[in-house]
Amino acid sequence: MNNWLMFFLIAFLLIIACGGTTTAPSAQKVVATRTTNSNQISQPAPAQPPGQESRPEDKYACVVNPDGYCIFLGIPHGAGLKPNTEHIVDGDEVFLFSMNEAVAVNSAGEILQARGTPAFNGDELARHLEDGMTDDEKAFHRVMAIMFPIR
């Protein structure tokens, strides 16, 4: 008797936690193309959520290689976080400055605002004391420093 009660209680909690609804994943067409080096699969841009039709087109694309890795298109950033360190380095892994001094800037040298948008061609990391920044702004620039080497 206790096992049935426990089963129904767990099932009830799972239904409540999941909102009681199930949604099927939306199908997206993926196109495979052959290049001279390997097969690559283009990732389609996801449909815009309702109410966000005015958002600009997403131009931050990648190509999925045969191993399943997303290879970003565009020009690599000139600086990035060296793995397992707090050091911002250039493409030759020469130390430039500390991650605590890193901010993402656009091609005009203006500090990027924490908006959740991806970096674009021309965006780079620059040395800047983070005095006067909110904790959210500091966290944003820390994430940008982490993500820059991936592109």
Mean pLDDT in order along the chain per 10 residues (151 residues) = 64 62 42 42 51 55 80 75 90 89 89 79 83 87 82 58
Note the pLDDT of residue 26: 41
Burial 47-76 (b: 16+ CB within 10 A, else e): eeeeeeeeeeeeeeebbbeeeeeeeeeeee
> Which pLDDT does position 43 carry in this prediction?
47
The pTM of the full predicted model, rounded to 2 decimals, is 0.51
The reported pLDDT for the residue numbered 53 is 56
- The residue written with tokens 């283009």 in the block is 42
